[in-house]
Amino acid sequence: MTELRSAVARLRRRLAAHPGRFADRTIAEEELAALDAMAADGTPEIPRLRRSLLLIAGAIGSVSALAPDLAEVRRAVDLFGGPVRGQG
């Protein structure tokens, strides 16, 4: 949980500080808030974690400055059940 909360917090800060405007910023912010809430609750649902991760990746995936922080969130989500079959 700690790793997920830390990774989400870093990405949220980086996203908030990112000067660029993009259409799906709100989606990314909402899903990061959802991930944080699930981690804070202590009993995250793995399918919901993965869905949020997918939405965040789709929303900010083209913003290369955020890629390292997004990768950290992905690694933290993977700790809850490993990568989905077919993903590297």
- The one-letter amino acid code at 72 reads E
Helix spans in 18-88 (H): 25-41, 46-60, 67-78
Average pLDDT of the chain, as a whole number: 89
Q: Is the pLDDT of residue 35 over 50?
A: yes
Q: Any residues with CB less than 8 A from the CB of 67 and at least 6 apart, and which?
A: 61
3-state DSSP percent of the chain in helix, strand and coil, to 5: 70, 0, 30
pLDDT band at 82 (very low <50, low <70, confident <90, very high): low
3-state secondary structure of 24: coil
Predicted pLDDT of residue 59: 94
- Asked whether the whole model's pTM tops 0.75, one would answer yes
Give the mean model confidence (pLDDT) for residues 54-73. 93
Query: Taking Cα atoms as reference points, which of 79, 81, 1 lies closest to residue 40?
Result: 1
Q: Is the pLDDT of residue 20 over 90?
A: no
